[in-house]
Amino acid sequence: MAMILKNKKLWLGILFTLLMLLIYRLGYYIQLPYIRYENMEAIYNDASSKMFGFLDVFSGGALSNFSILALGVSPYITASIVVQLLQMDIIKPLKEWSEEGEEGKQKLNTLTRYLAIFLAFVQSLTVVLGVTVSYKKVFFGVGTPNGAMTYIYLSIVMTAGTGFVLWLADRITKHGVGNGTSLMIVVGIIASYPDMINDLMQTYIFDTEAGSAGIWKFIISIILMVLLVIGIVFMEAAQRKIPVQYANRPSSAILQGRSDSNIPIKLNSASVIPVIFASTLLSLPSTISGFLSEGTAKTVLNMIFSTSEPIGFALYIILIVVFTFFYSFLQMSPDKMAENLQKQNAYVPGIRPGEETSAYFSRVLFKINVVGAIYLSILASLPIIMTKVLNLPASVQIGGTGLIIVVGVAIETVKQIKQIGQEKSYRGFMD
C-alpha cells in the first residue's frame, strides 16, 4: 500500500482502471430495445436453460439481462484463440506476422479485433433468433416491428456494445494497470458472487425446511470455496524451472546455485483454455437440443452431451485432458524451444543441443500436463459433483472456470502493479 501511495503514476492508473470498470458495469443496466421485460421471468426461472452458458459468465449476467453490453469480451476471446491457432503453419502470412516482432504483433492485433467484431455480430444475431424461437414472448411487443431489419438492428446494437467494451479494455491496458480484457472478465464474474452467496443463504439458512442440516451445508460450501481459492493460488503460481547454461558463461555459477538463467514453465500452462474449448463443444449440441421438441433425438443429445449425465460428464473430462495437452504443446513447441536455445548459444546442462533437447522438453511438458490436466479436470467437475451432492442452487458454482480466471488475473495484476512500482524506484535511483 505504501508503494502505491508514493507512486503517483501507479495510484492514478489504479483509479483510472476502477473508473473504466465502473463504466463497464453501468452498461449492464442499459438494456436492449424491443424487449418485453415483464415476460423475462420465463428465462430467469428456467434453471435448466443452457442457452447462454459461458457467454453469460464472461459478461457478468449482462447477456441474460439483455444489456447492450451483453456479449462483453467473449467474441474477442474466441477471435484471439482462432488467430492463435491459424498462426501454427495453417495460414503462412499469419505465421510470418508472428515472427516480425512488434510490427507483426500489431497486424495480428488488428486482425483479431476485426474478427472479434464479425463474431460479435454473428453471436448477437444467433442470440436474438434463439431467444425469439425459445421464448416467443420476450421480444417484440404490440406495435413493435417484427422483421429482418429489426433482428439486424438488435445485432448491430449488441456488436457496438462489444466494440465499446474492447475500447474500455484498451484504455485500461494503456493507461491503467494493464490486463484490460482479463479485468473485464473478472469484474463480470465477481459481480455474480453476491447473488450466488444470497441464493446459498436463502436455500440453506433462511429456508425453514432446511433445518440444521442446511446450516452445515452452508458452512461446508463456504469452507470448500476458501480451500479452493488457496489451492488455485498455489497451483497457478507453481512452476517447473529448467536450468539453462550459456556457452559464454562459467558453469561454476550453476553448480553453486547462483544462476538465475532458467526457463519457467507453469504447472497449468494451458490456463482455462481447455475447459472453455470442452464446454463450448459440448454446449453446441445442448443448444441445438433446446430448439427441438420432446422426443428421441432430444433425449439422445442430452444423454450424450449434457455434463449432468454420466456419458456427457466422461466426455467433458476427456475433452479437457485432450485439449490441455494439445494447447500446451501448441503454445510451447519443444522443437522451437530447442531451436531458440541453439540460436542463443545456450543449452540445458547434461542435455545435448538439438533433438535431445527437444525430446527433453517434450518429456517435461508431458509430465507437467499430466498434473495440469488432472487439476483442470477436478476444478471443472467440482461444480457438477457438488451440485448433486449438496443440492446447490443453479446459480452457485463451487470451483469451475470462473474461479481460475479470477485468481489467475489477480496474481498477474499484482505482479503488474509491483512491476510499475519497481520501474519508478529504479528511475529514481538512476536519476
Per-residue pLDDT, 38: 59
Q: Taking residues 353-358, what's their average pLDDT?
A: 85
Residue 144 clears pLDDT 80, i.e. is over it:
no
Question: Could you tell me the maximum CA-CA distance found in the chain, to the nearest angstrom?
Answer: 83
Task: Tell me the pLDDT tens digit for each residue of 90-128.
Answer: 777 877 777 777 787 888 888 889 999 999 998 888 878
Task: Tell me the pLDDT tens digit for each residue of 199-244.
Answer: 778 777 877 666 677 788 788 888 888 888 888 888 888 888 888 8
pLDDT band at 428 (very low <50, low <70, confident <90, very high): low
Q: Which residue has the higher pLDDT, 310 or 374?
A: 374
Per-residue pLDDT, 429: 46
All 3 cell numbers of residue 324? 490441455
Residue 288 clears pLDDT 80, i.e. is over it:
no
Burial label for 338, CB within 10 Å (0-12, 13-18, 19+), is: buried
Is-contact 267 368, C-beta < 8 A? yes
The CATH architecture to which 192-399 belongs is Orthogonal Bundle (1.10)
Per-residue pLDDT, 135: 61
- For residue 67, what is the DSSP state? B
Residue 259 clears pLDDT 60, i.e. is over it:
no
- For every residue of 321-355, which 3-state class applies, written as one string? HHHHHHHHHHHCCHHHHHHHHHHCCEECCCCCCCH
Kindly state the percentage of the chain with pLDDT values over 70: 78
Q: Taking residues 397-408, what's their average pLDDT?
A: 73
Strands 239-243 and 262-266: antiparallel
Q: CA 188 to CA 63: how far, in whole Å? A: 11
pLDDT band at 23 (very low <50, low <70, confident <90, very high): very high
In a 3-state reduction of DSSP, which class is residue 242? strand
Q: Which residue has the higher pLDDT, 155 or 258?
A: 155
pLDDT band at 258 (very low <50, low <70, confident <90, very high): very low
Task: Tell me the pLDDT tens digit for each residue of 296-350.
Answer: 776 777 777 777 778 888 888 898 898 888 888 877 888 888 888 888 888 888 8
**1-191 shares its CATH topology with 192-399:** yes
Residue 275 clears pLDDT 60, i.e. is over it:
yes
Distances (CA, A) of 199 to 50, 57, 186: 19, 17, 20
* Residue whose C-alpha is closest to residue 404's, from 228, 264, 238: 228
pLDDT band at 153 (very low <50, low <70, confident <90, very high): confident
pTM above 0.85, yes or no: no
Residue 431 clears pLDDT 50, i.e. is over it:
no
Domain ranges of the chain: 1-191, 192-399
Q: Name the average pLDDT for the chain.
A: 77
Per-residue pLDDT, 224: 83
Q: CA 309 to CA 314: how far, in whole Å? A: 9
Is-contact 117 159, C-beta < 8 A? yes
Residue 257 clears pLDDT 50, i.e. is over it:
no
Per-residue pLDDT, 220: 83
Per-residue pLDDT, 159: 93
Task: Tell me the pLDDT tens digit for each residue of 159-197.
Answer: 999 999 999 989 988 888 878 888 888 888 888 777 778
Residue 82 clears pLDDT 70, i.e. is over it:
yes
Which backbone phi and psi does 48 adopt, to 5 degrees?
-85, -5
For residue 262, what are the β-bridge partners? 243
Q: Taking residues 253-282, what's their average pLDDT?
A: 72
Kindly state the percentage of the chain with pLDDT values over 90: 6
CATH number, domain 1-191, options 3.40.50.720, 1.10.3370.10, 3.40.190.10, 1.25.40.10: 1.10.3370.10
Per-residue pLDDT, 356: 87
Per-residue pLDDT, 307: 75
Residue 66 clears pLDDT 70, i.e. is over it:
yes
